[in-house]
Amino acid sequence: MNITGIKGMNDILPGEMATWHFLEQQAHRIFQTYGFGEIRVPVVEKTELFCRSIGETTDIVEKEMYTFDDRSGNSLTLRPEGTAPVMRAFIEHKLHNQDSVTKLYYQGPMFRYERPQKGRYRQFHQIGAEVIGVDDPKIDAQVLAMLSHYFSAVGIQDVALHINSLGCKECRPDYRQALIDYLQKHLAGLCGDCQRRYQTNPLRVLDCKVPACREATATAPAMLENLCRVCEDHFSQVKSHLQGLAIPYTVNARMVRGLDYYSKTTFEMVTNSLGSQNAVAAGGRYDGLIADLGGPALPGIGFAIGVERLVLMKNAESLAVRRLPLFLATMGKSAADRAFLLMVSLQNQGLSVEMEYAGKSLKSQMRRAAKFGARYALILGEEELSREVAVLRNMDEGSQQELSLTGIEARLLQICSAEPAGPTAD
Ligand code: HAM
């Protein structure tokens, strides 16, 4: 039996790569414009890092982590997200000594043992960004401005920004208790999962998709109505900065994030085009996380974009398909041998060229050239070879010209490199 890939872990094939590269390149370009520097951290970390940051009672830590012992018996985990590893690296390398504000971005695979479905995988990719050291609400708005800028640069319109505040360690405990009291009275209406977790992680009950739970919590108290003065002021400033920047948003008081490190502002970019996996990007503030991990008491805020979800949304056809500049079509063995040398030499000089090796008919070679989207096809047969010429066909116009084989490399480089290639951005 064939060995197959692992369920929920996808191969990304060459045909999809142009979209991936485009999405990644736009992130590099835009995030660097906003002053972010790229960081790369390992895909494996000590398990304890995720338990302490994401929270012991979250779905991720309770049931979604890929955790194993290495050969020395250390418990390691494939990273389920990027914020905790980046904060671990920030603390370990004392990056706060370099500047009072640190802006980092990252990209790469994350791993969660979730039930795979469209838009939800066990290995998926995130592009994320984090700002450490500023608690001013302006930075919340700036991070959201950068995220919106990214979405418009990659041509995604069908997204809406939902924001909420989850309070801080001053106001959340009282709210949490009020919510537990409420849920206790409505326990019979909750699903099994929520009956189990309402005391350990009551906020998650608000996020449960089971209709009975939604009904039972319809009149539950909301964190937004129970914020302390500091959090309320922070949230109203975030909203007014967003208005100032003309970034549309919806306040969603029921939005609860699946990670415990959040405080104050949280947000999601949601879409209607992906069914139930509707969050394309998400994030928020985590003012206590760095201190909880043993670092300095510095605030932080960031987000992560789900790249697979973006790729699903991005209509691949809307990106200009990468076209091949030149295809070599030959007839006869000596023409094929000569074309082979020409192809390798042109490739060496930076031109993308393909040819047919299998001695197919000219018609079938031209079909293959068209499949590559070739702009030009160079036709070389025994007859042309005897005259030391080749025929260059412009595939878009159907026009042809004869080129002398003497000096043909320079001519082809000049003609074929003049064409634009690759997806167009913005
Ligand atoms: P998250 O909401 O867990 O947040 O994930 C962020 C995004 O990753 C989601 O909105 C979604 O697009 C994508 N995503 C999550 N799980 C999957 C999956 N199983 N398959 C495909 N895509 C998925 C975080 O990870 C936080 N670290 C974000 C953050 C950064 N907060 C502050 N800074």
Q: What was the pLDDT predicted at 158?
A: 87
Calculate how far, in angstroms, residue 281's C-alpha sits from the geometric centre of ligand 1: 6
How many C-beta atoms lie closer than 10 Å to residue 94's C-beta? 10
CA of 114, closest atom in ligand 1: 19
Calculate how far, in angstroms, residue 320's C-alpha sits from the geometric centre of ligand 1: 29
Name which residue sits closest to atom 11 of ligand 1, judged by CA.
Answer: 306
Within 245-374, residue ranges assigned H as helices are 289-292, 307-313, 333-348, 362-371
Name which residue sits closest to atom 30 of ligand 1, judged by CA.
Answer: 303
Residue closest to 410 by CA, chosen among 400, 421, 418, 398: 418
Calculate how far, in angstroms, residue 269's C-alpha sits from the geometric centre of ligand 1: 11
Name which residue sits closest to atom 12 of ligand 1, judged by CA.
Answer: 306
CA of 310, closest atom in ligand 1: 12
Name which residue sits closest to atom 2 of ligand 1, judged by CA.
Answer: 282
Task: Identify the residues whose C-beta falls under 6 Å from ligand 1.
Answer: 81-83, 112, 114, 119-121, 124, 126, 128, 130, 258-259, 279-284, 302-304, 306, 308-309
CA of 303, closest atom in ligand 1: 30
Calculate how far, in angstroms, residue 282's C-alpha sits from the geometric centre of ligand 1: 6
Name which residue sits closest to atom 31 of ligand 1, judged by CA.
Answer: 283
Name which residue sits closest to atom 1 of ligand 1, judged by CA.
Answer: 282
Calculate how far, in angstroms, residue 168's C-alpha sits from the geometric centre of ligand 1: 22
CA of 116, closest atom in ligand 1: 19
Q: Could you tell which of 49, 106, 107, 110 is best to mutate to test the pocket of ligand 1, judged by most ligand atoms within 8 Å of the CB? A: 110
Calculate how far, in angstroms, residue 294's C-alpha sits from the geometric centre of ligand 1: 24
Residues pairing with 77 in the sheet: 45, 67
Name which residue sits closest to atom 20 of ligand 1, judged by CA.
Answer: 120
The three-state secondary structure class of 38 is: strand
Per-residue confidence in pLDDT tens, the chain, 426 aa: 899 999 999 999 998 898 999 999 999 999 999 999 999 999 999 999 999 999 998 999 999 999 999 999 999 999 999 999 999 999 999 999 999 999 999 999 999 999 999 999 999 999 999 999 999 999 999 999 999 999 999 989 889 999 999 999 999 999 999 999 999 999 999 999 899 889 888 998 998 889 999 999 999 999 999 999 999 999 999 999 999 999 999 999 989 888 999 999 999 999 988 888 899 999 999 999 999 999 999 999 999 999 999 999 885 445 445 689 999 999 999 999 999 999 999 999 989 999 988 789 999 999 999 988 999 999 999 999 999 999 999 999 999 999 999 999 999 999 998 755 444 433
Q: Residues 6 or more apart from 236 whose CB is under 8 A from it? A: none
Say how far apart CA 351 and CA 372 lie, in whole Å.
14
Q: Could you tell which of 124, 270, 285, 314 is best to mutate to test the pocket of ligand 1, judged by most ligand atoms within 8 Å of the CB? A: 124
Give the largest Cα separation in the chain, rounded. Answer: 94
Q: What was the pLDDT predicted at 321?
A: 57
Question: For residue 234, with 0-12 CB atoms within 10 Å meaning exposed, 13-18 middle and 19 or more buried, which class applies?
Answer: buried
Q: Could you tell which of 126, 151, 166, 269 is best to mutate to test the pocket of ligand 1, judged by most ligand atoms within 8 Å of the CB? A: 126
Name which residue sits closest to atom 17 of ligand 1, judged by CA.
Answer: 120
Q: What was the pLDDT predicted at 424?
A: 41
- Which structural domains are found in the chain, ordered by start? 14-171+227-317 (3.30.930.10), 326-417 (3.40.50.800)
E strand spans, 275-399:
279-285, 300-306, 326-330, 353-355, 376-380, 389-394
Phi, psi of 34 (to 5 degrees): -85, 10
Q: Residues 6 or more apart from 274 whose CB is under 8 A from it? A: 118, 119, 280, 309, 312, 313
